[in-house]
Each structure stands twice: as C-alpha cells, then as structure tokens.
Chain A
C-alpha cells in the first residue's frame, strides 16, 4: 500500500490529494492490487469487488476474445397490426379508432394521392417547375400525424405532405407554394413542396437533408423547459440518416433528454441509391440503442401500426423526457422527383408489386370495407370529389403571379446602403 501511495505521488500531479484520498483511489479490490498482492487473494470477495471502474462504460469483464457480430440476417422485427389484406392480426393491438378518425385517415391519404397526381402532371405540362410525390408513403404521414396533438411541432424533410394534409392545410396553399404565386405564405422563395405552416406547427421545409434533425432536438429541449407537454416529431429518410447531422441529433437528444420522436421513413431508395449502398447495419432502428434511444421498427404501410407506435412514443417521450426512434419500413412507389426516372435503376415489376400488393391506401380500404364503413359507391364519389377539390378554380386562378409588392420583397437583414 505504501508503495502504491508513493507511486501515486510520483505519477500524479500533487493537487492536494491527501493520503486518505489516495487510499480511496487505490482501494483494495482495484484490479491491479487484487491480482498482484498475495494476501488479497485469500480474502472473501463478493462478485462486486472485481468490477471495472471505467467511467466510460457500465459492463462486466470478459476473458474471452469475441467480436460482436452485427445481426443483419434477422434484424429488428417489424411491428404490424393489419395484414396485407387489412385484417387485424392481433385484436389486442387494434387501436379501435372511431369511424370518423379512420375515414379522416383514409380521405387524407387519398386526397394527397389525388393532389400528387395532378401536381405531377402540372409539372409535366410546364405549369410548375418541380414536384415530389408521396406515392406509397401516405401511411407513414397520416398514421403518425393522427397520433400527435395538433400543437406538436413537426420538422420534416420533404416527403411528409400527408402530415399537413391530415392537419387540414388548405389545398390552395399547397398549390400556391408550388406555383409560387401571390397566395404563397412562403412568398415564392422556395422550390415546390417546401411547405411550411406556422398555424399548424409545421416548420418550413428546407432542401439540405437531415439539417432538421438537430434543430428538432433543440426545439424539443425548449419545449421541455417550457413544460409545454408537447412532443417534437422529426421526419427523415433512411438516406438522410447517413448525414452527420443525424448522428448529432440522436446523440444530443439522448444526452440532453429531449421529448422527441425521430421518425425515419425507410423507403428503400435515396434517389437511385438502394439501402444496400446506404448502410450495412440493420437499418436505422438498430442505431437507436447505440445512442441509448428507445427504438422500434414498424410496417410503414400499416396505418394502425404507425399510429400505435407513434402514440405510445409520444406518451412516453413527454412523460419521461426521452427520445424515441421509429423506423417505418415502406416503399417509394413514385420517382424521387419530377427530375428522376426511376426505371433507370429499378424494375417496373418491383414497383408494381408494392403498388398492387402492399399499399397503405388499399390496406386501409380493405379494413374500412370489412368494417362496413365504406363501399364502392362512396369510393367512386370520393374520387370524383377529391379531383374536383384539387382542380377547383381559385380567385385569380392558377395564373396568379408571384407577390411583387414592396411588403413581399426579400426581407434582407443586410441593408448595406
């Protein structure tokens, strides 16, 4: 012991450590001493005595050299409530949503689908410059939106228009933003689909990917401090999850204990890059535990699964001030955007499979039909009605120009002269 203390004096700068303090630091049972001193080995130790003391990890020792094998063959299982025919698999997981709510889910998805078709065509006709559709991912939008409070703050990437649709954002404003006309609240400054709505707590979209992730964490921290009982939800794709900002956001959310839901839409592609070229691990859900984040993988084409997971994540995020990660598996049926032709990198058969066999809208429709809440007549009528709603003439028509009045000019904070 004297040797140890003397040694400690030589190697440690003398910052006023007393003898007693040194004894505490070099207490019996510290690894080196326990093993080397013959007297110590004869004493009785409880299993706690030879524990590692490193501040960096809470773990036991192991004396076998073994690398942890990442498990990608059989990854984190995918939670679902309905099968592909819209039948509830496990009745105890049925959220038993009331008819009006389920109809709202259905109508939001189909209205979005209709608007997508019309605006995609508008781009092809040269009426708008650019568009991104949401085909196949409508379930991830409305399922999650329905599970939130209306005042929960939403940070999106660019393929979450269904969240705004569910929050009753007027069709006119969707299109005003795409046309950049005088009705656009964004004042015509951004490319189409960069929506934002203060009233509906949907932060304006920006093009750089994943930048919203650490921002969402900061907003959640502020909500926690304000005791607002609000959650922040942050949407991003599996491609954006490769960005450094995603890593930053996850780590900050966990260390700073923020009430945030990270919602990853894993749709199989980042433009032309398939997931096999995006990551080698078990998707995005498997990263959560690495940050200390509660994580789940869900069937993104199952509106009820998305709803259940988001609802529970919201409840716990707010109650426990911790982040949750939901990886919603889905498929991007459409092209990345109007600037993309995905037949260059994937087969039409693959796309058709998802469109015909596993689509969030058809699965919910099967459920509605089986509940007797919907029928073919109503389907036909609603299709007609939704097309009419999207195409409805508006004051000034689509030929409205951008806002040129003085009050709408760029509000530059750099008035040099």
Chain B
C-alpha cells in the first residue's frame, strides 16, 4: 500500500509537471522498478521477471454441454480440432510443424488418430499455406491452416485480403472459400519481443469478407473455433499464446458452438463500460474489481470475442447505460481496433457519453523485449485511465 501511495505520488508529480496531453505520453515511462512489485527488493524483482501481468479467471464449469474435463487453452484447441476431424471427413489440418503436435502442442495426437493425409506439415511458406488452404476450401473441403505466429501472417496478407476475403463476392457466389479457417498464436507472452508478440487483428479488421475471432479462455476457444470452422466465411482465429498453459478450466469434451459476432457481457455494471478481447479481458476484469474496491465504481466488462464483424449493439447498449467507455488492447494505439470501436460508439451514443472514450493500448512502437512490462496496457494504466474518466 505504501508503494501504491508512492506510486500515486509519482503520478501526481508527473501530472503537475505538465499539461494533460504531455502526461499521456508519459504513461508508464519512468516508473521505478519497485513500483511494479510491491514487496520487491532488487533481487526479488529479478526473480519475478516472469510474473504475468494478469491473472486468468476461469469461468464456472459449463453444465449444458455434457461431461467436461480440465483443459488448458492448447488442449481445448486440440479438442476442437479432434471434434472437427471426427465429424467432417473432408477436414484437414496443415501448417509448419503441425505433424509432430505443433510448437504449442495444439495438434498433439491428431496425425496418429486421423492419418498423415489429414494432418501434415507444409513447407515453410505462409503465403503458400494460406493459398493452399484457399484451394482446398474452393473444392468444398474443410481447410484448417496454422500460421505458427501471428507475427508471420504478413506474407499471406495478399492471399487473405485479395483472395480469401473476396472469393465469393468477385465470383458472384459461383465460388467461395468459406470452409477455410486460419489459426494463429497471438499476443504478448512475456518475452516474445517484436516477432513473437504481435496482435495484428487491426490489419484484418479493415477487410470485408473475413471474420476475425479471439477467445479469452479454453472454454471460449473451443466453442469459437468450432464456430469458425463451421462458418461459411473464411475466418482467422487468433489464440492468445500466453494463455496456452496459463489458462485452464473445465471444458466440455463434446463439440459445442459459441456464436460469432456476439460480444459477451461477463460482468454487469452501471458506471463505466470496459471492452477488451483475448488476454486483456483478464486485465480489465481485475481493473473492474480494483475500481469497485478503491473507487466504488461499478464496471460493465465486455469481451468482444469477434473483431469483425463486431457486435456494435451490445457495446452501444452498454455505453448508453453507463455513459463511459474504456477499450484496451496490446496492439499499438494508432489504427488499433479500439479506434474503430471508439469512432462507432461516438457516432451512435454521442449524447450518452459523460467522458471522452478512453483507449489504453500499446505504444506506437514495435513490441520491445526487455521493456515489455512497460509497453503493455497493464492494469495500472487501465485503472488510471478509468479514474480519469470517472473524474472527468
């Protein structure tokens, strides 16, 4: 608590130092190391470098889908893929290193179970992987492509944006690649740096014709992935890699679907709406309890789940009720998906807003290695932004 007071003092000093706008650029910069770890000595801080910036909150055990099993995120993905290949004889899984089980173990056991013609490695070529997947889907078979890290999806950008997204439209619905799903590990992981931490959803949000989906938990992941695979449009499914092992909960063994383009209000509230997706949902959940405890503020927490097409109605309905909106994502601020949400909400709910919409995001820089704790929109930054909105 003393450290929190010290931190608050530090923040106040910075605030006094310059105008609000100046302050915005200082968010996170210059904070003493001790600030991050309340009871830290320098030694302890070094040992605690691996402490995550969030705490995964499992959802209660689902009762309506039959027997459940404790699964972490990668196991829930395996389960979804297992269900898909069992149900759909045309379904195939391919990408780099998927045959031995995948670098994140998402495809363990599937090649042995379903055969080497259905679960196979491809050469190291993302544009080839996606192009190949499109071709399979054009024949009507189900293609589940893996891109090893979302950071490496860019060679496939042309195939995704110019081809997959436009296949049905440009052919007048004579042809389509709706049975294509692309899965890829996504988001910060503590040590990933520039090329193992990216969240590229904003690049794809600008592309009509595809769906982009990001789960926050194993139970969500399985249901959403199954929906993506069965959806009649090409889908990109980003899997928060930091949650692969860190998130574990009871997940149904049988297949089930969670609808796409439906955001979930995971906690109701009345004073401010918090919107995030993927790992960041757990951060804002914690911010919501901090706000309740310290400020007596009641937060409505929304997991967006589908980035495009996004659930405008749920978010707007919430903002109409609360009058305040905070959106948070790891991806850089400028052009990040929060800007789309912010723009639409101010169009739809202008007169309901009590404060400017707040976006707490990564900085407009490449994703750093050693500076990750300073880069990511952690709970303190979110809490601070929330406080300012309340006091606006």
Name the contact of A186 in the complex, choosing from B133, B174, B309 (C-beta under 8 A): B174
Name the contact of A213 in the complex, choosing from B120, B131, B140, B211 (C-beta under 8 A): B131
Q: How many positions in chain B have a CB within 8 Å of any CB in the partner chain?
A: 46
Query: Does A360 count as interface, using CB distance less than 8 angstroms?
Result: no
Is the beta-carbon distance between B132 and A217 smaller than 8 angstroms? yes
A149 and B135 CA atoms in complex are apart in Å by 19
CB contact under 8 A between A255 and B127, given known A206-B162, A208-B163: no
Is the beta-carbon distance between B135 and A214 smaller than 8 angstroms? yes
Is the beta-carbon distance between B138 and A410 smaller than 8 angstroms? no
Query: Which residues of A in the span 174-230 have a Cβ within 8 Å of any Cβ on B?
Result: 184-187, 189-190, 194, 196-198, 203-204, 206, 208, 211, 213-223, 225-226
Name the contact of B158 in the complex, choosing from A153, A211, A218 (C-beta under 8 A): A211
User: What is the 8 Å Cβ interface bit string for chain A, positions 404-417, against chain B (1 contact, 0 not)?
Assistant: 00000011111111
Q: Which residues of B contact A256 (CB under 8 A)?
A: 120, 122, 132
Smallest beta-carbon distance A99→chain B, Å: 34
Is the beta-carbon distance between A222 and B139 smaller than 8 angstroms? yes
Is the beta-carbon distance between B128 and A211 smaller than 8 angstroms? no
Smallest beta-carbon distance A68→chain B, Å: 23
Q: Which residues of A contact B136 (CB under 8 A)?
A: 218-219, 221-222
User: What is the 8 Å Cβ interface bit string for chain B, positions 146-179, against chain A (1 contact, 0 not)?
Assistant: 0000000001001100110011111111110000
Smallest beta-carbon distance B215→chain A, Å: 20
Is the beta-carbon distance between B133 and A218 smaller than 8 angstroms? yes
Smallest beta-carbon distance B349→chain A, Å: 13
A189 and B166 CA atoms in complex are apart in Å by 11
Is the beta-carbon distance between A215 and B139 smaller than 8 angstroms? no
Query: Does A252 count as interface, using CB distance less than 8 angstroms?
Result: yes
Query: Does B209 count as interface, using CB distance less than 8 angstroms?
Result: yes
CB contact under 8 A between A414 and B173, given known A153-B139, A219-B138: no
Query: Does B253 count as interface, using CB distance less than 8 angstroms?
Result: no
Smallest beta-carbon distance B196→chain A, Å: 23
* Most A CB within 10 A of own CB, among B128, B168, B208: B128
Smallest beta-carbon distance A173→chain B, Å: 11
Smallest beta-carbon distance B299→chain A, Å: 26
Closest residue on chain A to residue B145 by CB atoms: A218
* Most B CB within 10 A of own CB, among A155, A211, A248: A248
Q: Which residues of B contact A413 (CB under 8 A)?
A: 168, 208-209, 211, 233, 309
User: What is the 8 Å Cβ interface bit string for chain B, positions 102-133, against chain A (1 contact, 0 not)?
Assistant: 00000000000000011010110101101111
A255 and B129 CA atoms in complex are apart in Å by 13
Closest residue on chain A to residue B234 by CB atoms: A413
User: What is the 8 Å Cβ interface bit string for chain A, positions 220-253, against chain B (1 contact, 0 not)?
Assistant: 1111011000000000000000001101110110
Query: Does B312 count as interface, using CB distance less than 8 angstroms?
Result: yes
A128 and B143 CA atoms in complex are apart in Å by 38
Is the beta-carbon distance between A194 and B134 smaller than 8 angstroms? no
Is the beta-carbon distance between A255 and B123 smaller than 8 angstroms? yes
Is the beta-carbon distance between A220 and B233 smaller than 8 angstroms? no
Name the contact of B128 in the complex, choosing from A214, A219, A416 (C-beta under 8 A): A214
Is the beta-carbon distance between B172 and A416 smaller than 8 angstroms? no
User: What is the 8 Å Cβ interface bit string for chain B, positions 76-113, against chain A (1 contact, 0 not)?
Assistant: 00000000000000101000000000000000000000
Q: Which residues of A contact B120 (CB under 8 A)?
A: 256
Is the beta-carbon distance between B90 and A225 smaller than 8 angstroms? yes
CB contact under 8 A between A219 and B135, given known A198-B175, A214-B128: yes
Is the beta-carbon distance between B131 and A198 smaller than 8 angstroms? no
Is the beta-carbon distance between A416 and B309 smaller than 8 angstroms? yes
Q: Which residues of B contact A198 (CB under 8 A)?
A: 174-175
Q: Which residues of A contact B174 (CB under 8 A)?
A: 185-186, 196-198, 204
Smallest beta-carbon distance A213→chain B, Å: 7
A80 and B184 CA atoms in complex are apart in Å by 48
Name the contact of B169 in the complex, choosing from A184, A221, A245, A411 (C-beta under 8 A): A411
A10 and B178 CA atoms in complex are apart in Å by 53
Is the beta-carbon distance between A216 and B135 smaller than 8 angstroms? yes
Smallest beta-carbon distance B230→chain A, Å: 14
A375 and B143 CA atoms in complex are apart in Å by 53
CB contact under 8 A between A185 and B135, given known A249-B128, A252-B123, A414-B308: no
Is the beta-carbon distance between A214 and B127 smaller than 8 angstroms? yes
Query: Which residues of A in the span 371-417 have a Cβ within 8 Å of any Cβ on B?
Result: 410-417
Name the contact of A252 in the complex, choosing from B132, B134, B171 (C-beta under 8 A): B132
Q: Which residues of A contact B360 (CB under 8 A)?
A: none
A252 and B159 CA atoms in complex are apart in Å by 15
User: What is the 8 Å Cβ interface bit string for chain A, positions 279-313, against chain B (1 contact, 0 not)?
Assistant: 00000000000000000000000000000000000
Closest residue on chain A to residue B140 by CB atoms: A222
Is the beta-carbon distance between A184 and B172 smaller than 8 angstroms? yes
A191 and B173 CA atoms in complex are apart in Å by 16
Query: Does B141 count as interface, using CB distance less than 8 angstroms?
Result: yes
Is the beta-carbon distance between B135 and A221 smaller than 8 angstroms? yes
* Most B CB within 10 A of own CB, among A189, A215, A410, A416: A215
Closest residue on chain B to residue A187 by CB atoms: B172
Is the beta-carbon distance between B312 and A417 smaller than 8 angstroms? yes
Q: Which 5 A-B pairs have the closest CB atoms?
A: A218-B135, A214-B131, A248-B128, A204-B171, A215-B135
Show 27 residue pairs from A and B whose CB-CB distance is below 8 angstroms, ordered by the A residue. A186-B174, A189-B172, A190-B170, A198-B175, A204-B170, A204-B174, A206-B170, A211-B162, A217-B131, A218-B136, A219-B135, A222-B140, A225-B92, A225-B141, A226-B139, A226-B141, A244-B127, A245-B127, A245-B128, A248-B123, A248-B128, A249-B128, A255-B123, A412-B209, A413-B168, A413-B211, A416-B309
Q: Besides A196-B175, A412-B208, 20 other CB < 8 A contacts?
A: A186-B170, A189-B170, A203-B175, A206-B162, A211-B163, A213-B131, A214-B128, A215-B135, A217-B128, A217-B135, A218-B137, A219-B136, A221-B136, A225-B90, A251-B125, A252-B122, A410-B169, A411-B173, A413-B233, A415-B309
